[in-house]
């Protein structure tokens, strides 16, 4: 499991972003509505799940931005 400098797993951090009004917030809302989403998911785990689900480029850009913010949190 990957954690940021605050010892917070990516999945847990992402779920806290659901109130945002941007692409990361949209990604977080989608994650929150997914019963298979786990707080312990890493960015790479989520990237693979999105790829398998046929997600489009904007979703991956949002994930990249979210990963960068999470690492710096």
**Residue 31 is assigned to a structural domain of this protein:** yes
Instruction: Provide the number of structural domains found in the chain.
Output: 1
1 falls within a domain: no
Dump pLDDT digits (tens) for 19-69. 999 999 999 999 999 999 999 999 999 999 999 999 999 999 999 999 999
Domain span including residue 31: 10-72
In a domain, 4, yes or no: no
Residue 2 forms part of a structural domain:
no
In a domain? residue 3: no
pLDDT exceeds 80 at position 5: no
* pTM summary value: 0.90
Instruction: Count CB-CB contacts under 10 A for residue 43.
Output: 18
64 within domain boundaries: yes
Task: Tell me if 24 is assigned to some domain.
Answer: yes
Separation CA 64–CA 6 (nearest Å): 19
Q: What is the pLDDT of residue 1?
A: 63
pLDDT of residue 73 exceeding 90: no
Residue 43 lies in a domain: yes
């Amino acid at each position: 499991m990957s954690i940021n400098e605050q010892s917070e797993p990516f999945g847990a951090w992402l779920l806290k972003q659901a109130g945002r009004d941007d692409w990361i917030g949209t990604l977080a809302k989608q994650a929150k509505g997914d019963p298979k989403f786990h707080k312990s998911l890493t960015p790479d785990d989520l990237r693979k799940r999105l790829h398998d689900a046929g997600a489009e480029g904007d979703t991956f850009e949002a994930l990249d931005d979210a990963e960068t913010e999470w690492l710096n949190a």
